[in-house]
């Protein structure tokens, strides 16, 4: 019995230590040594940027990442839900539309970074609430074992042809850049053509999966011949040695071009650490970061000319891109999402 | 009062929110309550749960019987071995099978893969309960049956009947866990009710729609709890009178070998194979070093949060266990039932409740810190720390306590010198279970994780989707190692106490 009491005392001591660790985990962040970033950019590529900032400035980055299943939308809505009690300082979004919507909801604050002076006008908010950098393009990945070069489709609308029955995979179009792509198409084509296209796509048996990466993986495994995804997904699949080819659609003289989507950086209104947040945005929008992201596995295309990129990463000037009015696309977002949600019930 | 505050408050807040209209952010697809889509998903989830429950229970019955057939001194070691597969969470089991299939150029996904992995993750629950049930069974009855009947008839007519409460409990627990699991179906790309509810809330942060979609989560566990309580609960809890004696089961050498092989095959498939696949996938030592360098913060944070949560749960569970055993409060049966309910509820519900409760300016110090994660784990897993203590208290002979009172010891002295030492094994078992579950929790953590406090489970899950297979495998091994290490430390500590 005496030994059991000894054991209990040791146990009690351990419990006290655990309690201390509990209290220690609840410490408050220092105003000038921590910045809180919510990012929808793939964690594996955004973390090195955070580490680079920490090394350069000594300011710790506390990050929240989103899940592939609720890409971008989830984190944007978390920001909106926290608007009265902001936890986040900087929102690093991997697309534009949700950033525009957050601006409209009053979640963001105007900040024009010095680093954004040389970013092209079409890649930043004229009112200074967000700036774009390190872009991706929407592309088609093709399984080279299943589809010969001469048979590969060249236009986006061809994905809905009956010949492509059961051959196409796509991320769930309510989230991420697929949702953005859909909204851009609706604003470009009009509602009638947009609805007709997606209805045909569904009738064709398009395979809906969680995320661009999953769509790319289906094509890599031969479970689908084509998938719509982003350039970073395509590059990672090709570099992994999969039988994939990447196609920029609608590049012909009559074609509208493909959708190019930049990352965006924005300051959160009433954020807890505004001064360090501005320093982080300055760093994020720098040419240095665009160069790092271009060389990384995500192969992001710099929005500014003159930044060295690997040979297999195209420049924006070499791609025909759809000129996008992001405000108009944001106007269409809810309506398009409602339609697609009813159409692609899972 | 503790249960109300920690467990029912988040759930109560959700119900209030749903009635009042709650928060409403952008919601592109406001779902009606139990529309066609929801009914289909609900049916799919129920079928998944029933099949996983049946499969896991049958597998557990066979392995549990294999354990009970061995000599008493071997049984305890084998039972400890049954705990080891718990160190691998179900979503990591799913990752393992995906990786294994990819090694052979195959793809594994869909409904039946989900059933198999869930049954394969939870069968140890049934095995342990079967073993406990067989040890608690009326030895005389079994021996009498064997004298008059064949072995098979004695098993089917007598032994199975005696362990029926344990099998019913195992089936319900496995079915409820499978019903509310998010990680496995999402990795196998099937849309189930938990996946739908998580996606709806996580995507749109629409608390009202999320709560309305979650009503089946509240009704089904209530139904299951009622079934359990009526069919198994009383007989399951009241294990006094028989004690832990092994009933000798004499088999031929061939059968003995079969039982041993069955046990080891089960351990190999659910523990050995996953560890091997993860090690192969992780590959070179450099991967482990990179994983450690990039994730040591998350590893430490996960261990610390899980330890703090488990400790608080163990402390809270003791007065609750005393209450359930009727030593302090009336209405102990009601308290017992209330303590079981949270077992079946998914992490999504608790995550939503914690956000609704604490996402306010006045409670910023909770919402923006690890405290909200600890509260989530306590709300979700307190019953698991509680049940071993309830069972342990039921084992204590009343005579010991009467003798203590007769020797004029105060209640505090009786508790400190008699009850707590006798309960030490149960407290540690509850602590270990709560620690492992907290370490492996995914769904709720995905919703509430504060900035910079990403847990290891969340990191593994999110990195997997970005194709970092080697890194994911190494991190999964760290997660398993943490659970296994804590389990080993507690086992050694308990054996040291027993020997002294």
Residues 6 or more apart whose CB falls under 8 angstroms from that of B54 comprise: B171
Domain residue ranges of chain B, discontinuous segments joined by +:
1-23+284-500, 33-204+214-283
Nearest to B202 among A24, A36, A70 (CB): A70
A60 strand-pairing partners: A34
Evaluate whether A276 touches A34 at the Cβ level (below 8 Å).
yes
Residues of B with Cβ-Cβ distance to A334 under 8 angstroms: 26, 28
Nearest to B360 among A85, A211, A333 (CB): A85
Say whether residue A221 is in contact with chain B using an 8 A CB cutoff: yes
- Helix, strand, or coil here: A36? strand
Evaluate whether B367 touches B358 at the Cβ level (below 8 Å).
yes
Closest alpha carbon to B273 in B103, B492, B29, B59: B103
A306: left (phi > 0), else alpha (psi -120 to 50), else beta?
left
Closest alpha carbon to A268 in A23, A72, A76, A15: A76
Closest alpha carbon to A225 in A200, A243, A201, A250: A243
Closest alpha carbon to A272 in B242, B264, B452: B452
Nearest to B28 among A174, A213, A236 (CB): A174
Say whether residue B144 is in contact with chain A using an 8 A CB cutoff: no
Polymer length of chain B: 500
d(CA B466, CA A92): 18
Using alpha carbons only, how large is chain A's radius of gyration in Å? 23
Nearest to B465 among A26, A68, A73 (CB): A68
* Structure token pair of residue A227: 């998938």
- Helix, strand, or coil here: A99? helix
Looking at residue B239, what is its pLDDT? 43
A141 strand-pairing partners: A227, A246
Contact B497 A67 (CB under 8 A): no
Looking at residue B26, what is its pLDDT? 40
Evaluate whether A4 touches B418 at the Cβ level (below 8 Å).
no
Distance from CA of A229 to the nearest CA of B (A): 13
CATH of B33-204+214-283, one of 1.10.20.140, 3.40.718.10, 3.40.980.10, 1.10.3720.10: 1.10.3720.10
3-state secondary structure chain B: CHHHHHHHHHHHHHHHHHHHCCCCCCCCCCCCCCCHHHHHHHHHHHHHHHHHHHHHHHHHHHHHHHHHCCCHHHHHHHHHHHHHHHHCCHHHHHHHHHHHHHHCCCCCCCHHHHHHHHHHHHHHHHHHHHHHHHHHCCHHHHHHHHHHCCHHHHHHHHHHHHCHHHHHHHHHHHHHHHHHCCHHHHHCCCCCHHHHHHHHHHHHCCHHHHHHHCHHHHHHHHHHHHHHHHHHHHHHHCCCCCCCCCCCCCCCHHHHHHHHHHHHHHHHHHHHHHHHHHHHHHCCHHHHHHHHHHHHHHHHHHHHHHHHHHHHHHHHHHHHHHHHCCCCCCCHHHHHHHHHHHHHCCHHHHHHHHHHHHCCHHHHHHHCCHHHHHHHHHHHHHHHHHHHHHHHHHHCCHHHHHHHHHCCCCHHHHHHHHHHHHHHHHHHHHHHHHHHHHHHCCHHHHHHCCCCCCCHHHHHHHHHCCCCHHHHHHHHHHHHHHHHHHHHHHHHHHHHHHHC
| End-to-end Cα distance, chain B | 37
What percent of chain A has pLDDT above 70? 89
Contact A7 B424 (CB under 8 A): yes
**What mean pLDDT, rounded, does chain A reach?**
87
Do strands A207-209 and A168-171 pair parallel, antiparallel, or not at all (unpaired)?
Answer: parallel
Domains B1-23+284-500 and B33-204+214-283 agree in fold: yes
Q: What are phi and psi of B342, to 5 degrees?
A: -65, -15
d(CA B48, CA B488): 33
Q: What is the pLDDT along chain B (500 residues), one digit of tens a residue?
A: 555 566 667 767 766 666 665 444 344 344 445 677 788 888 999 999 999 999 999 999 999 988 888 887 788 888 888 888 888 999 999 999 999 998 887 888 889 999 999 999 999 999 988 888 887 765 666 666 666 667 677 777 777 877 888 888 889 889 988 998 888 998 898 888 888 887 777 766 666 777 777 777 767 767 777 776 676 655 554 444 344 445 555 556 777 778 788 899 999 999 999 999 999 999 888 999 999 988 888 898 899 999 999 998 988 888 888 877 765 455 566 666 666 667 777 788 888 888 888 888 888 888 888 999 999 999 889 888 888 888 788 777 777 777 776 776 667 777 777 778 788 878 888 888 899 999 999 888 988 888 888 899 999 988 887 777 889 999 999 999 998 888 888 777 777 766 65
Looking at residue B53, what is its pLDDT? 94
Closest alpha carbon to A326 in A191, A110, A127, A173: A127
Q: How far is CA B178 from the centre of its chain?
A: 10
Which domains are seen in chain A, by residue range? Answer: 34-135+262-317 (3.40.190.10), 136-259+334-343 (3.40.190.10)
The alpha-helical segments, DSSP class H, found in chain A are 2-24, 43-57, 73-81, 97-104, 176-189, 191-203, 211-220, 231-239, 274-284, 287-295, 326-343
Looking at residue A3, what is its pLDDT? 47
d(CA A233, CA B321): 53
CATH of B1-23+284-500, one of 1.10.10.10, 1.10.3720.10, 3.65.10.10, 3.40.50.1820: 1.10.3720.10
Question: Which of A72-81, A175-184, B28-37, B354-363 is least confident?
Answer: B28-37
Residues A127-136 have pLDDT tens digits of: 999 999 999 9
Interface test with A, best of B24, B27, B28 (most A CBs within 10 A): B28
Q: Given a cut of 90, is residue A182 above it in pLDDT? A: yes
Contact A74 B107 (CB under 8 A): no
d(CA A12, CA A18): 10
Say whether residue B415 is in contact with chain A using an 8 A CB cutoff: no
Using alpha carbons only, how large is chain B's radius of gyration in Å? 23
Confidence of residue A22 (pLDDT cuts 50, 70, 90): low
- For B3, what's the count of Cα atoms within 13 Å in the CB-facing half-sphere? 20
Distance from CA of B197 to the nearest CA of A (A): 12
Burial class of residue A98 in the structure, from the number of CB atoms within 10 Å of its CB (0-12 exposed, 13-18 middle, 19+ buried): buried
Burial class of residue B257 in the structure, from the number of CB atoms within 10 Å of its CB (0-12 exposed, 13-18 middle, 19+ buried): exposed
Looking at residue B24, what is its pLDDT? 43
Q: Which of residues 426-445 of B touch A (CB under 8 A)?
A: 427-428
B461: left (phi > 0), else alpha (psi -120 to 50), else beta?
alpha
Q: How far is CA A24 from the centre of its chain?
A: 34
Count the neighbouring beta carbons within 10 Å of the beta carbon of residue B50: 16
Cα angle value B416/B422/B424 (rounded, 5°)? 85
User: Would you say the ipTM is above 0.85?
Assistant: no
Looking at residue A279, what is its pLDDT? 96
Looking at residue B77, what is its pLDDT? 83
* DSSP category for residue A206: P
d(CA B186, CA A341): 18
Evaluate whether B2 touches B316 at the Cβ level (below 8 Å).
yes
Contact A67 B446 (CB under 8 A): yes
Evaluate whether A246 touches A238 at the Cβ level (below 8 Å).
yes
Residues of A with Cβ-Cβ distance to B317 under 8 angstroms: none
pTM of the model: 0.84
Looking at residue A213, what is its pLDDT? 86
Closest alpha carbon to A346 in B464, B214, B195: B195
Q: What are phi and psi of B386, to 5 degrees?
A: -80, -45
* Structure token pair of residue B34: 């139990």
d(CA B56, CA B38): 26
* DSSP category for residue A163: G
């Amino acid at each position: 019995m005496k030994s059991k009491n000894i054991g209990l005392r040791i146990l009690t001591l351990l419990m006290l230590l655990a309690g201390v660790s509990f209290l220690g985990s609840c410490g408050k962040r220092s105003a000038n040594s921590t910045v809180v970033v919510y990012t929808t950019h793939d964690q594996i590529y955004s973390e090195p940027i955070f580490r680079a900032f920490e090394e350069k400035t000594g300011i710790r980055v506390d990050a929240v990442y989103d899940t592939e299943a609720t890409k971008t939308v989830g984190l944007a809505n978390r920001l909106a839900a926290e608007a009265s009690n902001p936890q986040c300082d900087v929102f690093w979004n991997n697309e534009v539309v949700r950033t525009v919507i957050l601006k409209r909801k009053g979640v963001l604050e105007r900040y024009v970074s010095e680093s954004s002076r040389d970013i092209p006008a079409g890649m930043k908010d004229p009112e200074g609430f967000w700036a774009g950098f390190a872009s991706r393009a929407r592309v088609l990945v093709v399984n080279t074992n299943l589809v010969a070069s001469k048979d590969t489709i060249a236009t986006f609308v061809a994905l809905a042809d009956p010949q492509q029955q059961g051959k196409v995979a796509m991320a769930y179009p309510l989230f991420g850049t697929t949702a953005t792509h859909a909204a851009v198409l609706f604003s470009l084509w009009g509602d009638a053509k947009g609805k007709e296209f997606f209805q045909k796509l569904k009738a064709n048996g398009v395979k809906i999966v969680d995320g661009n990466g999953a769509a790319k993986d289906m094509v890599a495994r031969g479970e689908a011949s084509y998938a719509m995804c982003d350039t970073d997904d395509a590059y990672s699949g090709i570099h992994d040695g999969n039988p994939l080819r990447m196609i920029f659609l609608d590049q012909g003289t009559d074609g509208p071009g493909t959708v190019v989507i930049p990352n965006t950086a924005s300051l959160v209104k009433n954020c807890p650490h505004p001064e360090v947040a501005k320093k982080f945005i300055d760093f994020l929008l720098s040419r240095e970061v665009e160069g790092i992201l271009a060389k990384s596995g995500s192969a992001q295309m710099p929005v500014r000319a003159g930044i060295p990129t690997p040979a297999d990463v195209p420049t924006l000037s070499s791609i025909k891109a759809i000129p996008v009015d992001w405000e108009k696309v944001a106007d269409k977002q809810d309506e398009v999402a409602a339609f697609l949600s009813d159409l692609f019930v899972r | 009062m503790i249960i109300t505050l920690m467990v029912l408050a988040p759930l109560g807040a959700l119900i209030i929110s749903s009635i009042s209209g709650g928060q409403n952010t952008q919601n592109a697809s406001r779902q009606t309550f139990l529309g066609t889509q929801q009914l289909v998903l609900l049916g799919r989830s129920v079928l998944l749960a029933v099949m996983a429950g049946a499969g896991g229970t049958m597998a557990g019955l066979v392995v549990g019987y294999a354990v009970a057939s061995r000599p008493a001194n071997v049984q305890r070691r084998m039972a400890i071995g049954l705990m080891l597969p718990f160190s691998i969470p179900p979503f990591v089991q799913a990752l393992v099978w995906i990786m294994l299939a990819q090694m052979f150029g195959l793809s594994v996904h869909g409904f039946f893969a989900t059933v198999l992995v869930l049954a394969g993750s939870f069968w140890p629950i049934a095995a342990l309960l079967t073993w406990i049930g067989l040890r608690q069974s009326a030895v005389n009855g079994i021996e009498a049956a064997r004298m008059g009947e064949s072995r098979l008839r004695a098993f089917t007519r007598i032994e199975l009947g005696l362990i029926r409460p344990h099998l019913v409990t195992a089936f319900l627990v496995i079915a409820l866990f499978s019903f509310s699991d998010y990680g496995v179906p999402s990795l196998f790309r099937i849309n189930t009710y938990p996946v739908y509810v998580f996606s709806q809330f996580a995507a749109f942060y629409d608390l009202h729609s999320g709560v309305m979609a979650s009503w089946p989560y509240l009704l089904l566990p209530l139904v299951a709890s009622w079934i359990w309580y009526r069919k198994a609960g009383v007989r399951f809890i009241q294990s006094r009178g028989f004690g832990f004696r092994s009933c000798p089961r004499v088999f031929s050498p061939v059968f003995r070998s079969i039982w041993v092989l069955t046990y080891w095959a089960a351990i190999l498939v659910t523990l050995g194979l996953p560890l091997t696949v993860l090690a192969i996938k992780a590959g070179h030592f450099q991967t482990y070093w990179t994983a450690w360098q990039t994730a040591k913060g998350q590893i430490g944070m996960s261990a610390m949060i899980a330890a703090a949560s488990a400790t608080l749960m163990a402390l809270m569970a003791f007065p609750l266990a005393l209450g359930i055993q009727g030593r302090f409060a009336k209405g102990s049966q009601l308290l017992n039932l209330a303590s079981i309910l949270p077992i079946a509820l998914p992490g999504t519900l608790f995550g939503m409740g914690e956000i609704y409760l604490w996402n306010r300016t006045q409670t910023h110090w909770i919402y923006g810190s690890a405290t909200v994660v600890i509260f989530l784990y306590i709300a979700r897993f307190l019953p698991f720390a509680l049940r071993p203590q309830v069972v342990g208290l039921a084992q204590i002979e009343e005579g010991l306590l009467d003798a203590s009172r007769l020797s004029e010891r105060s209640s505090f002295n009786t508790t400190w010198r008699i009850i707590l030492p006798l309960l030490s094994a149960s407290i540690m078992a509850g602590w270990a279970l709560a620690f492992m579950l907290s370490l492996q929790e995914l769904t709720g953590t995905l919703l509430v994780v504060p900035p910079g406090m990403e847990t290891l489970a969340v990191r593994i899950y999110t990195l997997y989707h970005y194709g970092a297979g080697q890194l994911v495998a190494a991190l999964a091994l760290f997660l398993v190692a943490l659970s296994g290490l804590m389990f080993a430390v507690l086992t050694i500590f308990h054996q040291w106490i027993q020997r002294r």
